[in-house]
Chains A and B, each alone.
Chain A
């Protein structure tokens, strides 16, 4: 056993144990660690936003770089995001708080516009391409079997999410088959993700037992 003498390791250990103490019950030690975590992360986030986004992408080209580096036309373009960003602060002034809706509308519109074609491409068209039954499935019996299972699974799962008809008769059979496929998928994903979580826990215990107590190599 070789207990660490590094002060930072001890700080990390105290905070780790503080967060773990929540497993027992809510307590002042956990509250302290929680508030410290939230405060530090928020401060870090503000700093990160300034140095990685606001300063290099807006403040520097608009106010610091000379006209020889950024043309007047481009500088004027930067005023648009500046004004949109400033609109967020209008909510602190009741008389003009409605201005906050402009950047919100812009961001929501942009979000939907960017996301919808991307989702269509990756989650629908590509998936359809992979689901089609092609002559290649006759190459081997196992390929054939999996292609059919996959095809039936996709069709039945999509039918489960059909909301315009009551799930009765054939639609009920199909949607119930679909939910079986979904649950099998969720079960697999559950096991996979739990293992990933376990590795996070193991990582934390390794820190306590190796870096702090020196009990393991």
Chain B
């Protein structure tokens, strides 16, 4: 019995002759190896694509031949069929070949046609963004021109902004300052730009009412811009002499140190009104809660979805996202800003119309004869 079992085990460990042949067979080299300049990029990149001729390869070796001679630049998993070489120089021709490796065998493909990388001036995958920008700016320019010609442009009431006048008046009556926090973002944030526009209008009203304004800043560049805006607003209001150099000041760039300093400022100065308009992060509730304890009217606004709830709970008025962008036009009624606001509004209508019509056509693409409508989605993909 035992010799029989040993015989069976020995037989189990011996591979059948067909399998041995399959393991020993060298893998087929990859086919259709193609190297081309990566499209829509800033250069210094070549893309390789190939097809596996069989499933024997355990890994791919990628070889690049340039002015410095042939060099294996990467190994790739067997499932991969493309590679991005980002270590090339522009306008130098390179050839590539790929080897299938299995066991001790390395079988090279024929070299792909020589290729050089170049930067592209125009990114064709972003044509949709260009079209959107053209539509958007055409609308803005059209409505700005309409406003300049004296056309009456209606803007609906925005409660938070109607309160600005009241808030400045309250500060004047109480003889207390107004604290304006232009957010913690940089000038590259749209919310900060919107906030700085509103600051100009608030500063004008402050100058007219002869109230005091305090603008603590976190970003040095925002500080410089805010200071110029406030100074100009005082001049526009006919009160350049009332502008105090130290009313707009830089605190620090560290988020929570800034929050601690503004908290201290609010508790000590007891302002009548606090404005928190711009880009905010985790300090939003710290600021708004402290401001609320001082009894000040608080008007806040941001486009940060995560901070809006805190402002809604702790402030008297909150400008939600787009309302913040609309605020400067609403307050100033200047044709340029009103036209821009109208342009944005009708831009939104274009978006809604595209969504409704696009969805209808995409749903129709379920009908085989109308399946070409499914290509609509491709237009909205970007890289």
Contact = CB atoms under 8 A, between A and B. Distances in A.
Interface of A: 19, 22, 26, 30-31, 33-34, 37-38, 40-42, 44-45, 88, 91, 100-101, 104, 107-108, 110-112, 114-117, 119-121, 124-126, 128-129, 131-135, 138, 151, 154-155, 158-159, 161-167, 182, 185-187, 189-190, 192-193, 196-197, 200
Contacts of A115: 188-190
A134 B305 contact: no
B142 interface: no
B209 to A, nearest CB: 27
B interface, size bucket:
35 or more
Given A34-B264, A129-B377, A158 B351 contact: yes
B359 A22 contact: no
B260 A37 contact: yes
Given A133-B362, A155-B356, A111 B193 contact: yes
22 contacts: A22-B260, A34-B257, A34-B264, A41-B253, A41-B257, A44-B254, A104-B224, A104-B225, A110-B188, A112-B190, A121-B382, A124-B132, A128-B358, A129-B380, A155-B352, A163-B155, A182-B320, A186-B312, A187-B309, A190-B313, A196-B282, A197-B285
Given A112-B193, A116-B133, A134-B362, A186 B188 contact: no
A7 B132 CA distance: 60
Contact of B156 (A33, A91, A111, A167): A167
A128 B351 CA distance: 8
Contact of A124 (B268, B285, B351): B351
Contact of B309 (A110, A125, A186): A186
Contacts of A193: 306-307, 309-310
Nearest to A26: B267
A126 B129 CA distance: 10
B352 A117 contact: no
Chain B interface helix/strand/loop/mixed: helix
A216 to B, nearest CB: 25
B261 interface: yes
B332 to A, nearest CB: 14
A120 B132 contact: yes
Chain A interface helix/strand/loop/mixed: helix
Nearest to A186: B309
Contacts of A111: 186-189, 193
Contacts of B333: none
Contacts of A134: 359, 362-363, 374, 377
